[in-house]
Structure 1
Amino acid sequence: MCELYVKADPILYESRARSLRIRGVVTTLRLENQFWDILREIAEVDGMTTNQLITKLYDEVMDYRGEVVNFASFLRVSCTRYLSQRRVPAGLSVVRAISQ
Structure 2
Amino acid sequence: MCSIFSDIPRESYESQTRSIRISGHSTSIRLEAAYWDLLERLARHEDKSLSRLLTELHDEVLDLHGEARNFTSLLRCVCLIHMTRGGSASELLREAEPL
- TM-score, structure 2 as length reference: 0.87
Distance 2:90 2:55 in 1: 14
What corresponds to 1:50 in structure 2? 50
The residue type paired with residue 92 of structure 2 is I
Q: Percent same amino acid among aligned pairs? A: 35
Distance 1:47 1:23 in 2: 18
- How many residue pairs get matched? 94
What corresponds to 1:68 in structure 2? 68
The residue type paired with residue 98 of structure 1 is L
Q: CA deviation at 1:84?
A: 0.8
Name the CA shift for 1:13/1:25 in 2 (closer, same or farther; >3 Å): same
Distance 1:66 1:2 in 2: 43
Cα RMSD of the aligned pairs, angstroms, is 1.3
What corresponds to 1:91 in structure 2? none
- TM-score, structure 1 as length reference: 0.87
1:31-42 → structure 2 map (5 Å cutoff): 31-42=31-42
